[in-house]
Structure 1
Amino acid sequence: MSSPIARATKGAVMLWGFSLQFWQTVVFWLWAIAAGSGAIAVAASFGSSVISYYISDETQRKADADTSRANATAETARADAARADERAGLANEAAAKANERASQADLARAQLEARLAPRRLTNEQMQLLREALDREPSRKEIDVISEGSPETNYFATQFVDFFKSLGLKSELRIENYIGGPTMPGPFHVRNDPDGIVRRVLEHANFAHDYNGDYEGIEPCFIIPPRAVEE
């Protein structure tokens, strides 16, 4: 019994109305197409792999280059920051030295002004003088002698005014030469038979020496000129 889809037509075998030779040709081309498609698939897979590799490699190289540039930029920034810190340190050091020089200049100027400024009785000195005189009930008069310079006259006047404020008699006497020019140095107690002047000056921390007693004059002391250092 023959196949329903294959029959012989005038001695030729047919399949679905076409000869076997035709179908053999179709099969050949189907195999060829399948083989070609497989080759294309393999080629496409290989090509995509190669392309992906180069894309990845190029991307990595770009990333490495960007990282290298970023590291170089960061290193430059660190170097710039270090130089800036160094400059700031030098500037601070220079400023400190300038301040030190200014402070030294201010101190020297203050010391010079103090040496050149007129002498004055301080509150502490006046308090000590008052304490000492309060312990001397027999005190009546203390005169002050100046060697005659304006600065010494000014200083001596302060003693006279202070003694008067405590109820003592006190006069300012000016003697330009007392056995020769009066030299800078301690106060010279000229007449102090009871030792009152010496005790008062000592309690107030005024350096002094004693030249002995002189008849006919009240207790007194001589203020010498100020010693000015060069």
Structure 2
Amino acid sequence: MRTKFQEQLDALIDRLASMCHLAGQAIEAATDALVLADLPAAERVFDLNEQIEALRGPCEEQAMTLLALQAPVARDLRQVITGVHLVADLSRMGGLAQHVAESVRRRHPKHVTSGEAEQLLGRMGRLAGGLAGLAEQVLRTRDPELAAELDRRDDELDSLHHQLLDLIQDPAWTDSVTVAVDVTLLGRFYERFGDHTVAVGRRVIFLVTGEQLRSNLSIGVDQQ
């Protein structure tokens, strides 16, 4: 029974890693769409997010099956519950990438923004893609040290987000209010995407060690 449980849990984690891989592809495609005003790239994000959501149901079903049929206790129960939370984090990452793509589609054929704001958003998008790639590695290896690295790398994304907000609030800002709103929302989408990758790392640490690390992340049930 123990061997069967572990095999099923490994299969669940593998599916979660696949969701994370797709989320990374989605945020990278969304960023390409943003900086190039590339509508086909934006449409690809919608396709990728559909693939993520197609995996969500089987992951949740597999976790519920483990709970119902294997009656896990202690560490095993912790691993299954962590898997359920990871499904939600990864689904939200796909949703955030789609929000970026929606902004591109809404403003096409024009760019959503330009100049320094677009450059900062592009850098945020590349960092977010890198964080997703690292989160995928964390899921596949379940390495707590690698998971802790997500926290450190997310600090750079947060720094770029602060720079973006400072740029919008600068009296020298000459773009319209509409552009300022778009840029503010896009920065938030990328920042939240990074937060979810950090949450993935923290959940993996909890899964492996049982230690619940304190976090200043405010990712709630209804938040993206």
- TM above 0.5, yes or no, is no
How would you bin the TM-score normalised by the shorter chain? Answer: under 0.3
Larger Rg: 1
The structure with more strand, counted as a fraction of residues? 1
TM-score w.r.t. the length of structure 1 is 0.26
